[in-house]
Amino acid sequence: MTDTPPDRIRVMVVDDHPMWRDGVARDLEEAGLRVVATAGTGTEALTRFPAARPDVVVLDLQIPEPNGVEVTASMVRDNPAVRVLILSASGEQQDVLDAVKAGATGYLVKSASRAELLDALLRVAEGDTVFTPGLAGLVLGEYRRLSDAPPAPDRPDTPRLTDRETEVLRLVAKGMSYKQIAERLFLSHRTVQNHVQNTLRKLQLHNRVQLVRYAIEQGLDDEIEG
């Protein structure tokens, strides 16, 4: 499934617990990946990010300021090609959703095994989206929340899921693998992946549009341009 040889993938590990950071970094190196940088705080992560040029950032959400959500947003803004895999201990639901909206494309709880971590990392590096059932449930809830909000005529860009996307996302939330979903819906594995990716992409795009609109409303665009 992976086309890129693991030793070509540059990884950065951001976690404030040294034990974890070193453990994850060691696991990844043993698997043949290149760990190009580690960081213990948000500030360190953002400082080292430009020089390290990682392909994938393995990021803990609970780190000293700026937090994981802000770090995700900032890294994706600097380099839209970077992939962010959230590795979080406490499953902070809102934070995970915010990080995903900010541009993270994978989420894993820390108790996941080494094999699961490696698999998730390789998939994220490939541009795939790694959803846990929990995250799928959050994303479904977020779309419902957006569509339940009173429709505003000047905001026609509220993202909506197609029926097929909703169907796929629900099955992910029920713990089915892409392969099982593909079998049940008579789709190809790749199509299922695309549907899942689209659900995230729309949400991320909406988030960016909202941020830009907010900036314009607040008059911040003048400062940016000037």
Question: Would you tell me which residues interact with another protein (CB under 8 A)?
Answer: 17, 19-20, 23, 62, 89-94, 97, 109-111, 113-114, 132-138, 140-142, 144-145, 148, 170, 173-176, 180, 183-184
- Smallest gap from Cβ 199 to another protein, in A, equals 14
- Smallest gap from Cβ 110 to another protein, in A, equals 4
- Smallest gap from Cβ 76 to another protein, in A, equals 21
From CA 11, how far away is CA 38, in angstroms rounded? 9
Pick 47 or 90: Cβ nearer another protein = 90
* Unique residue bearing structure tokens 């009173």: 150
Pick 35 or 173: Cβ nearer another protein = 173
Pick 82 or 196: Cβ nearer another protein = 196
Q: In what order do the strands lie in the sheet with 34-39?
A: 34-39, 10-14, 56-59, 83-88, 106-109
- Smallest gap from Cβ 150 to another protein, in A, equals 13
Pick 77 or 144: Cβ nearer another protein = 144
Q: Which own/partner contact pairs does 52-55 have at CB distance under 8 Å and 24+ positions apart? A: 52/10, 52/12, 53/10, 53/79, 54/10, 54/11, 54/12, 54/82, 55/9, 55/10, 55/11, 55/81, 55/82, 55/83, 55/125
